[in-house]
A and B are shown apart, each in its own frame.
Chain A
């Protein structure tokens, strides 16, 4: 939490969490931090983007309204294609998830902002929500039959004692890999940007070369911001589909 011990120019300094408004709930430190601030900003930006974009409700949408409709349709199609008709019920959840990750990633691309999704606790919390929800949905829909997920069809019963633990481990690894992927991509990308930024300053006039690299990297990071939000969302859809339709 504390800033000391790190050089201010360290490429990792950007990921430090600072307390903005100290709040103590009993012995729990519930302070409002810069991470929390940027989460609030992301949610506020999404709300503004959606509600202002749809304010006119024109039959022939303008640019902004098209963007809003595009994001809606994009997720609606994603859910329809990957989960099927029953997935409609989960659309609000999936849409919220996608928009939050996307906006958090995009806001983080603005210099001097904080990268919310570069903290594994944030991505893991998101993944854990997905994991718990998917498991509950599966259990409610199929009851104990849900656990047949752990024994692939056509496996000799003699192999079951070996395969079931393996399947359980890979099932439990889902949220971890989901969280790790988002976290690793964002952290690596932003660290790289900062490292090349440092080169620009150090090299003086020759710093033009790393500056060009930064331009390219920045484009790549923009792509990654979209891509990782998309990957997180589509994996959520795939897991949902697994839980709804066992095999």
Chain B
């Protein structure tokens, strides 16, 4: 970059920057999921947290509804199984997203 001749130098820089960005974007497409959580251990931790927290939320909802409606313990039992199902479902979605279909990976994985 020549001093004093800023505009052309900046144009040049801009061009090189956009080239570099394009190649980085292309590289990023090749990866899947949340980068860094792909390591086996990180993924396992993530799956277990997902499973346990979903189940815990289910149980808590059941317990709270039971207290409110006075139906102990039936809603707790029901919500336990619903929570377990929801946990299994989110784990299933996460693993399916790990297995493949690129673009929707993170989207299908964690949400919906």
User: Taking beta carbons and an 8 Å cutoff, which residues of A are in contact with B?
Assistant: 59, 82, 149, 152, 165-167, 169-170, 172-174, 176-177, 180-181, 184-185, 223, 227, 230-231, 234-235, 238-239, 241-242, 247
Contact = CB atoms under 8 A, between A and B. Distances in A.
A4 to B, nearest CB: 30
A234 B53 contact: no
Interface of B: 6, 34, 36-37, 42, 45-46, 49-50, 52-54, 56-58, 61, 79, 82-83, 85-87, 89-90, 106-107, 110-112
| Interface SS, B side | helix
B92 to A, nearest CB: 11
Given A152-B112, A238-B110, A172 B61 contact: yes
Contacts of B106: 82, 234, 238
B49 A180 contact: yes
Given A169-B79, A169-B83, A238-B111, A176 B89 contact: no
Contacts, number: 76
A234 B46 CA distance: 14
| Interface SS, A side | helix
A22 B30 CA distance: 54
Contacts of A180: 49, 52-53
B57 A181 contact: no
B82 A169 contact: yes
Nearest to A185: B45
